[in-house]
Each structure stands twice: as structure tokens, then as C-alpha cells.
Amino acid sequence: MRALALAFLLVPSVAAGCPVAGDIETGIRIVYQDGTEEIFRRVTPGEVEVRYDDNGTPHRDMLGHGLYLLRSGPVSGGAAEDVLTVDYGHAPADLPRPAPGLTVRFDTTERFGDDPTAVHESYTAGAATDVTVGDCLLRAFEVKLLREQSTGPIGVERVRYFPDLGFGHVSGVSDPGAPMESFALTKIEAMR
């Protein structure tokens, strides 16, 4: 019995503070290695809000199913040109739910102010695995997002998606021909 108790102490688990599926309703906080924090919360059945600080200015992103960027900009103030919107041609709730093995491509229209830009987005999801973030053991899979315009690739993002929690975080970015810059998490917790 004593050995069993010790074994549980060595395995990351759903310890106090580790998020579970329902916690997306009240909020889940992640902390990156550089100390940056983001808080994720579902606001509609198809949309997850992300709040974070960008160089002293509070920002809010809206993500379809916790993956697809719908809007990004300052939380308050901010003229229309300060907000980026992305139109996928579908309502957020109708976008494909992220899943291991998903491959999907969208011809999107991005607007920053009044200027529309056509951007092709290709999402490719890998297999689900168990990952440890701080003291928490979670199921996750990696999604590669390739963004292209008619002139060629404009960037690659790597997103680690937590299917049980309903959101993903950017774990890496790169410009064409540049190495991937990675963003490691040190903590994840429920905002109960």
C-alpha cells in the first residue's frame, strides 16, 4: 500500500489547480517560460477568448473552437484599425473541431482596419500524446498552421492544442526561411 501511495506522488496528475474540461467556462491560465501569461475562457459554444498583456496594453483574441483566430486587438479604446479580423466563410461554431489527424484549408479574408487581404491557411494536426506542463499531465496534439498569400508563404505557427480543455496555445512561430522560435509553458492552472 505504501508503494502505491509513493507511485501516485511521482506521477503528474489532476492535482489541485490542474485544469479539467469544465474549467474553460471560468478560465484557464497558462504561463510561458518568459513569464508571459494568457487566460483562456469560452464565451460562446464556438468561441474562446484569450486575454493577455502586449507591451503594457491589455489585448483580447477570439478563437474559433480555441484554435482559429477570429479577432485580435486592444481590450479597450483602440480605433478600428487596431483590430485584426479573420473571415473563414463560416460561423465560428461551424468551423471544424480540432482533432488529431485533422487537415483543413481555408481561403480567408483578413482585415486590419479597412484593408482586406486574402490569406490561405492550412492546418495539419498530429497525433495526440500526453504532455506535462508544470505539475499537470494533459492530453495534447500539435497543429501546424501554414499561412500563405498569392506571392508565397508568409509564416508558420505551431499550436499545442489541449482537446480535453478546448483550446490551444502558440508554441512556435517562424517567418519563411527562418528557424522556428519556440514558446515553452511552465504552468497551467484553472481559475476556479
pLDDT at position 1, please? 47
Domain for residue 3, yes or no?
no
pLDDT at position 55, please? 85
Give residue 131's domain range.
Answer: 16-190
Q: Is residue 32 scored above 80 in pLDDT?
A: yes
Q: Is residue 52 scored above 70 in pLDDT?
A: yes
Choose among 152, 141, 143, 142: nearest CA to 175.
152
Query: What is the rounded average pLDDT for all residues in the chain?
Result: 90
Domain for residue 168, yes or no?
yes
Neighbouring C-alpha atoms within 13 Å toward the C-beta of 109 = 8
Which letter does DSSP use for residue 25 in this model? G
pLDDT at position 172, please? 97
Mean pLDDT of 92-108: 97
- What are 60-99's pLDDT values in tens digits? 999 999 999 999 998 876 554 578 999 999 999 999 999 9
Choose among 73, 90, 91: nearest CA to 82.
73
Q: Is residue 11 scored above 70 in pLDDT?
A: no
Choose among 186, 161, 138: nearest CA to 40.
161
Domain for residue 9, yes or no?
no
Q: Beta 103-112 vs 68-74: how paired, if at all? A: unpaired
pLDDT at position 14, please? 54
Domain for residue 11, yes or no?
no
Domain count, the chain: 1
Percent of the chain with pLDDT over 70: 90
Q: Which residues pair with 158 in a beta bridge?
A: 144, 172
pLDDT at position 7, please? 44
Q: What is the CATH number of the domain that holds 56?
A: 2.40.360
Mean pLDDT of 145-157: 95
Domain for residue 157, yes or no?
yes
Domain for residue 117, yes or no?
yes
pLDDT at position 77, please? 63
Domain for residue 7, yes or no?
no
Q: Is residue 113 scored above 80 in pLDDT?
A: no
Domain for residue 23, yes or no?
yes
Which is higher by pLDDT, 167 or 82? 167
Task: Quote the CA–CA distance of 159 and 171 in Å, as a whole number.
Answer: 5
17 pLDDT band, cuts 50/70/90, is confident
pLDDT at position 75, please? 85
